[in-house]
């Protein structure tokens, strides 16, 4: 089964178009996990990385039955060097073992030959002296398109070879997104041009559900742009960050879905993984050990929020 079909099927099964962003920041990890990690490996990069992994493990154990996918923000791990990468790899492995689809949010790219190194490292296999390494790799990777389409191709190749998928940045969720993304090419804004190029690319990687393994990133903070892009990319699945902490609302998000209720997955990170913390930074829960209960509640409330908006927009999938 093509990875995009599996993603849609898992969204359907869990009736939940939500991806949880595992973007751990050490100062927000519960104290008891920090203590455990520091006791094991000291006040070191390895200790800090262990705390991130323990945090993820608790979250994954708790959330895996209710969401179809997790997204790992690479910057959070890379900050801790090789031990951070180790925590990233262990999280990917565990998430896959628990049946979750894993999105590697690394926003990588470089020119030709180098792009293929990134593509092999994140989605494919690393060449050894003899044969290839066979470690677990994420299912999807986010990619930056600024360097042009000859730099996208090496990623597409690995998708074809290893049944992986991409989400190419079209319109990001941040405030200054428009600064360069609205430059004009062929009479339309650059982000729209890129979206149309992704649609073109999608035709050769189409799954049974009408969507391609080559997807796009569109920020939840831009509802008007989303509407336009949804029309321009009928076969492109959208990864939508920016809901919640960044200001995107459920009503703004619905434009990313087709009229049949499919076509997008909405990411939330801080709103879910740090749900246990009150505004003053202290735990809302008498026992910090139960912090993932707050995350489950946050997922449930985000899901209700999304489903209500989809229903209002007459876009709730039929069998949900």
Hey, which residues between 204 and 233 contact its own copies (CB under 8 A)? none
Query: How far is residue 48 CA from its own chain's centroid?
Result: 23
Joined together, the tokens standing for residue 137 give 């790799």
Let me know the angle formed at the C-alpha of 107 by 105 and 112, rounded to the nearest 5 degrees. 135
Closest CB 26 distance from its own copies, rounded Å: 6
Q: Which of 14, 57, 93, 107 is the binder for its own copies (CB under 8 A)?
A: 107
- Maximum distance among all Cα pairs of the chain, rounded to whole angstroms: 59
Catalytic residue among 14, 93, 96, 107: 107
Residues 59-98 that bind its own copies (CB under 8 A): 73, 75-76, 78-86, 89
71 is a catalytic site residue: no
Query: How far is residue 134 CA from its own chain's centroid?
Result: 23
Number of residues that bind its own copies (CB under 8 A): 74
CA distance 176 to 179: 5
Closest CB 82 distance from its own copies, rounded Å: 4
Look at residues 155, 154, 158 and name the one whose alpha carbon lies nearest to residue 142.
155
Closest CB 135 distance from its own copies, rounded Å: 7
- 237 close to 215: Cβ distance less than 8 angstroms: yes
CA distance 35 to 43: 10
Q: Which is nearer to its own copies, 147 or 296 (CB)?
A: 147
Q: Which is nearer to its own copies, 41 or 313 (CB)?
A: 41
Joined together, the tokens standing for residue 210 give 């009408």
Joined together, the tokens standing for residue 188 give 């339309």
Pattern 2-41, binding to its own copies, x per CB under 8 A?
A: ---------------------x-xxx------x---x---
Closest CB 47 distance from its own copies, rounded Å: 7
* 3-class DSSP assignment, residue 143: strand
Q: Which is nearer to its own copies, 120 or 205 (CB)?
A: 120
Look at residues 80, 100, 108 and name the one whose alpha carbon lies nearest to residue 24.
80
Question: Is residue 319 at the binding interface for its own copies, with CB under 8 A as the rule?
Answer: no
Q: Which is nearer to its own copies, 156 or 310 (CB)?
A: 156
Strand partners, 171: 218
Closest CB 73 distance from its own copies, rounded Å: 6
Question: Is residue 280 at the binding interface for its own copies, with CB under 8 A as the rule?
Answer: no
Q: Which is nearer to its own copies, 2 or 229 (CB)?
A: 229
* 3-class DSSP assignment, residue 119: helix
Ramachandran area for residue 247 (φ above 0: left; ψ -120 to 50: alpha; else beta): left
Q: Which of 53, 118, 222, 237 is the binder for its own copies (CB under 8 A)?
A: 118
Question: Is residue 284 at the binding interface for its own copies, with CB under 8 A as the rule?
Answer: no
Residues 144-203 that bind its own copies (CB under 8 A): 144-151, 169, 172-185, 190, 193-194
Question: Is residue 320 at the binding interface for its own copies, with CB under 8 A as the rule?
Answer: no
Pattern 43-62, binding to its own copies, x per CB under 8 A?
A: xxx-xx--x-----------
Ramachandran area for residue 156 (φ above 0: left; ψ -120 to 50: alpha; else beta): alpha
Backbone angles phi, psi at 240, to 5 degrees: -120, 100
| Residues belonging to the active site | 107
């Amino acid at each position: 089964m093509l990875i995009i079909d599996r993603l849609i099927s898992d969204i359907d099964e869990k009736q939940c178009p939500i991806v949880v962003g595992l973007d751990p920041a050490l100062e927000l990890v519960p104290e008891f996990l920090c203590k455990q990690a520091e006791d094991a490996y000291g006040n070191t990069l390895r200790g800090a990385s262990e705390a991130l992994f323990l945090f993820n493990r608790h979250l994954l154990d708790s959330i895996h039955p209710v969401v179809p996918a997790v997204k790992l923000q690479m910057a959070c791990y890379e900050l801790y060097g090789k031990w951070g990468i180790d925590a990233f790899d262990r999280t990917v492995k565990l998430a896959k073992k628990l049946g979750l689809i894993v999105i590697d949010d690394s926003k990588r790219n470089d020119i030709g030959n180098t792009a293929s190194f990134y593509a092999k490292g994140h989605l494919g296999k690393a060449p050894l002296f003899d044969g290839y390494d066979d470690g677990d790799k994420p299912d999807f990777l986010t990619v930056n398109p600024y360097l042009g389409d000859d730099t996208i191709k090496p990623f597409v190749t690995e998708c074809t070879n290893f049944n992986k998928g991409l989400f190419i940045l079209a319109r990001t969720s941040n405030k200054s997104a428009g600064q360069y993304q609205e430059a004009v090419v062929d009479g339309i804004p650059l982000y729209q041009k890129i979206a149309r190029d992704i649609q073109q690319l999608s035709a050769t990687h189409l799954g049974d559900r009408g969507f391609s393994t080559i997807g796009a990133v569109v920020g939840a903070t831009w509802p008007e742009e989303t509407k336009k892009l949804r029309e321009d990319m009928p076969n492109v699945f959208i990864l939508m960050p920016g809901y919640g902490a960044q200001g995107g609302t459920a009503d703004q998000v619905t434009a990313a879905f087709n009229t049949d209720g499919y076509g997008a997955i909405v990411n939330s990170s801080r709103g879910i993984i740090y749900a246990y913390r009150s505004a003053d930074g202290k735990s809302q829960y008498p026992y910090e050990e139960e912090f993932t209960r707050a995350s489950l509640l946050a997922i449930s409330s985000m899901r209700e929020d999304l489903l209500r908006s989809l229903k209002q927009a007459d876009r709730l999938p039929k069998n949900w």
